[in-house]
Structure 1
Amino acid sequence: MSRGESPLLMREVLEAMILAHEIQGVIALENSFNRVGLCQVLLVRVASVAVVTKMYGADHEQIMAGISQAWVDGSALRTYRHAPNAGSRESWAAGDATSRAVRLADISMRGEMGIPGVLSAVQWGFYDVCFNKTVADQQFKPQQKRVFSFPQKYGTCVMENVLFKISFPAEFHAQTACEAAVKLHPLVVDRLSEIDKIVIRTHDSAVRIICKQGPLANPADRDHCLQYMTAVALIFGDLIAEHYEDDFHRANPLIDQLREKTQIEEVPQYCDDYYDANKRSIANAIQIYFTDGTVTEEVAVEYPLGHRRRRAQGIPLLEKKFQRNLATRFASGRSQTIYQLCIDQARLEQTAVDEFMDLFVI
């Protein structure tokens, strides 16, 4: 704009969002980074540098140079996402990855050379250094699994299937468990002291990522603990951000008592449906057993409220959540202006980015 050029429009930003989501999402479909001990924010950096260089007007060589720089940076470890080291880095890791992506895009536009063998170079490439062994047992993967595979071409699939976090401030593999626990709450709230065991039937990603035993160090540790989130929802009939705080945890020892009584079972069908491209379920089922031998029904929820299969139910609640959060920062008039713009797709797409951002200045 300072050079007299047309401003960037929100349509271009929305298109960039679709591209970035698609790149990282399609790469992740068949290529598990957490199984090799790496943090998935690596894909945020890779996708972001590709999109930012494109927005800068890069040619093919410059885009490829930027992407290669993103891969050669390697990956953050997943240490900060798992007990006993889970912490607040979870909240800023993706932002850090995008800021690095902008830097790499900038130097690529200025002529920094690319690294053609960044993935495949023998001994020194990403595949050999970072992707050929599973971290749990340090065993080499089958040869064909040591390189990336892609089950589909890039399109708009990821954004069309995006998961909105509507019901609970919880890690997504636990969303359906929390919903099931809330449904069970009226049946157990007066019998919490009589609970003998809680059985959660789930899928392999939940087992690998959010099943935790022992002490939980901080809010970031708790919001990635399936047993903790389920216990809170069973006891209180809800799960909100304040339920992760240290004081709340200390004041409610019953949470840990229920965690100790929780058994996790991996269900092959849930695993299959989780990876099925036509389903992408994130299923959990909960059943409560009491000391007198009675049991509740098993409550199973296959798809969280933010899933594509529940759009008709979820979108109205998502809009209300947006309005509610706007109201925490802006006067009613400003909140309504922002909301009305965002639900008018045609007008939003033609809005200049600087004008859109001005609406959020307090």
Structure 2
Amino acid sequence: MSNPNYDQILVHIIDYVYHTPITSPRAYQRAHIALLDSLGCAVETLAHSAEARAFIGPVVPGTTVPNGFRLPGTLFELDPVKGAFDLGALIRYLDHNDAYPGAEWGHPSDNLGAIIAVADWLSRSQAKDVTMETVLTSQIKAYEIQGIFQMKNAFNKRGLDHTILVKVASTAVIAHLMDLTEDQALSALSHAWQDGHPLRTFRQAPNAGPRKGWAAGDACTRAVHLCLMAKAGQPGAPSVLTTPRWGFYDALFGGEEFMLPRPYGSFVMEYGFFKLVAAEGHGISAIQAAVELAKKLQEAGEKVSDIEKVTIRTQKAGKTIIDKTGPLRNPADRDHCMQYMVAVTLLKGEFIEGEDYADDSPWASDARVDELREKMVVIEDEQFTKDYHDQKVRSGANAIKIELKTGSEVPEVVVEFPIGHPKHPETLGLVKEKFRVNMQKGGFESATVEKMIEMVEKDDLPIHKFINLFAKEVPLKT
């Protein structure tokens, strides 16, 4: 039993991680797919982002760590602290990994940066028998901790970045993976809350930048380091949340306490959102609507240049986070701009892709994109917002209507449950196909990819044998 002197929020997290079995077949089924998807996203980043490739690898070039973590998509052998940073950043960098909505939007698969780095290192060094099932259980629990907090607690309203929850969830499950005692786990977890936390300025104009791509890696590396510090004997801060004036609630959360609407189980893994389109999650249904509208324009013999006005109805979160006008200075600006996503999709006539946000993408300098953006109006639809927050509905709706210069209209297209949504029947099959495509982008042979898909289902497989399949020279594409 964990130390009752700690704030009960912390005690409940550690009790869940250390003592609650996961019994849901649906959770494990989706965890297998989520693991593949996340590693595929990391390989996709390596294939497309020179910016990301520039910061991965050992801190001191040429260093190889004996029995170190093998960073997927590379031949690097890293210590688990740097490895957690690199994998967490690669999974997240192109904004293509899975997501979970609520009062706070976040990406639970960010936690895999820490989980895989530590699990592979422990398994490879024979410090512990870490199987696929062990990893999946840690994954399900990290998803759950992060997602339950996201449901009702808006860190963004306090100016804090949601990756605080990656650090918290990863610290809790890594402590268990490392065989820390429960008191040591509480110590590490208290330090995760006690850290100074990232401001979300790097997600908002005028400071939006690539840090939003490596913020998850930063959270992962911090979680691993805090667990190592606790294992080395560092004491914790038992009332880190509740201490008057100096605790988290008073110092950073306006004096409010966290609201946790349901007990920890496996809900978040079972009902998370897979991103089958490389775009900020609140805009994916808008992109799907735009694809349909592009076809309607073509069928009617109309061109994008014939458009007079585009009206986008969205949820409050979409309006707040990705309604962006004015200059777009970098890829991070573009992939968090509803208008850019929709404009490029309409012009292409097909789904926007990760490379379409790059500085060297033809779309980034295409005058037609900005001309079309200026014709767009983004408004909040209160019903969309209500359904977004309703746990029985949990839609991610957007609607787009096009008015033409002739005075006629293209009928509005509404998408409530886009591809990737847990209520969409084709989601899991499409995620597997996405994995195949991403691995092909990274130069992996089809036979190897199919072996990965087969081996991820082997729950008793030592995790390092699975990660071995991902070893490859870093792609040279710039």
Global fold match (TM > 0.5)? yes
CA distance, structure 2, for counterparts of residue 230 and residue 41 of structure 1: 27
Paired residue secondary structure (1:308)? coil
CA distance, structure 1, for counterparts of residue 364 and residue 293 of structure 2: 24
Q: Which residue of 2 aligns with 1:40?
A: 162
Equivalent pairs counted in the alignment come to: 344
CA distance, structure 2, for counterparts of residue 271 and residue 226 of structure 1: 16
1:74 and 1:126 in contact (8 A); partners too: no
Amino acid at match of 2:135: V
Spell out the pairing of 1:213-292 with structure 2 (5 A cutoff). 213-238=325-350, 239-247=352-360, 248-292=362-406
User: Shift of residue 264 of structure 1?
Assistant: 1.0
Spell out the pairing of 1:40-119 with structure 2 (5 A cutoff). 40-119=162-241
User: Shift of residue 162 of structure 1?
Assistant: 1.6
User: Shift of residue 96 of structure 1?
Assistant: 1.4
User: Shift of residue 229 of structure 1?
Assistant: 0.3
Which segments of 5 or more consecutive residues in structure 1 lack a partner in the other structure? Answer: 133-142
CA distance, structure 2, for counterparts of residue 94 and residue 270 of structure 1: 28
CA distance, structure 2, for counterparts of residue 162 and residue 2 of structure 1: 30
> Does the alignment pair 1:296 with 2:410?
yes
Q: Which residue of 2 aligns with 1:27?
A: 149
CA distance, structure 2, for counterparts of residue 186 and residue 8 of structure 1: 49
Paired residue secondary structure (1:200)? strand
2:356 and 2:364 in contact (8 A); partners too: no
RMSD, aligned CA: 1.6
Q: Which residue of 1 aligns with 2:129?
A: 7
Counterpart among 177, 185, 209 of residue 286 in structure 2? 177
1:103-138: CA deviation from partner (whole Å, max 9, x where unpaired)? 101111222111122111111111111111xxxxxx
Amino acid at match of 2:388: Y
CA distance, structure 1, for counterparts of residue 292 and residue 166 of structure 2: 35
User: Shift of residue 6 of structure 1?
Assistant: 5.4
User: Shift of residue 23 of structure 1?
Assistant: 0.4
1:287 and 1:296 in contact (8 A); partners too: yes
User: Shift of residue 293 of structure 1?
Assistant: 1.6
Q: Which residue of 2 aligns with 1:326?
A: 439
Paired residue secondary structure (2:369)? helix
User: For residues 22 and 4 of structure 1, do their structure 2 counterparts lie closer, same or farther at Cα, with a shift above 3 Å needed?
Assistant: closer
Q: Which residue of 2 aligns with 1:317?
A: 430
Amino acid at match of 1:262: M
Amino acid at match of 2:284: Q
> Does the alignment pair 1:186 with 2:310?
no
User: For residues 294 and 41 of structure 1, do their structure 2 counterparts lie closer, same or farther at Cα, with a shift above 3 Å needed?
Assistant: same
CA distance, structure 1, for counterparts of residue 323 and residue 128 of structure 2: 51
1:262-313: CA deviation from partner (whole Å, max 9, x where unpaired)? 1111111111111011121111000001122211111000112111101x31
User: For residues 8 and 38 of structure 1, do their structure 2 counterparts lie closer, same or farther at Cα, with a shift above 3 Å needed?
Assistant: same
1:176 and 1:304 in contact (8 A); partners too: yes
User: Shift of residue 224 of structure 1?
Assistant: 0.5
Paired residue secondary structure (2:399)? strand
Counterpart among 306, 313, 328 of residue 201 in structure 1? 313
Amino acid at match of 2:359: D
CA distance, structure 1, for counterparts of residue 262 and residue 151 of structure 2: 9
Paired residue secondary structure (2:423)? helix
Amino acid at match of 1:314: T
2:124 and 2:464 in contact (8 A); partners too: no
User: For residues 4 and 90 of structure 1, do their structure 2 counterparts lie closer, same or farther at Cα, with a shift above 3 Å needed?
Assistant: closer
CA distance, structure 2, for counterparts of residue 188 and residue 3 of structure 1: 59
User: For residues 271 and 2 of structure 1, do their structure 2 counterparts lie closer, same or farther at Cα, with a shift above 3 Å needed?
Assistant: closer
Q: Which residue of 2 aligns with 1:157?
A: 267
Question: Normalised by the size of structure 2, how large is the TM-score?
Answer: 0.69
User: Shift of residue 340 of structure 1?
Assistant: 2.1
User: For residues 255 and 112 of structure 1, do their structure 2 counterparts lie closer, same or farther at Cα, with a shift above 3 Å needed?
Assistant: same
User: Shift of residue 214 of structure 1?
Assistant: 0.3
Percent identity, aligned pairs only, is 41
* Greater CA drift, 332-341 or 32-41: 332-341
Question: Normalised by the size of structure 1, how large is the TM-score?
Answer: 0.91
Paired residue secondary structure (1:188)? helix
Which segments of 5 or more consecutive residues in structure 2 lack a partner in the other structure? Answer: 1-122, 473-478
CA distance, structure 1, for counterparts of residue 341 and residue 264 of structure 2: 35
Q: Which residue of 1 aligns with 2:47?
A: none
Q: Which residue of 1 aligns with 2:106?
A: none
Counterpart among 128, 131, 144 of residue 250 in structure 2? 128
CA distance, structure 2, for counterparts of residue 36 and residue 5 of structure 1: 41
1:42 and 1:74 in contact (8 A); partners too: no
CA distance, structure 1, for counterparts of residue 126 and residue 378 of structure 2: 61
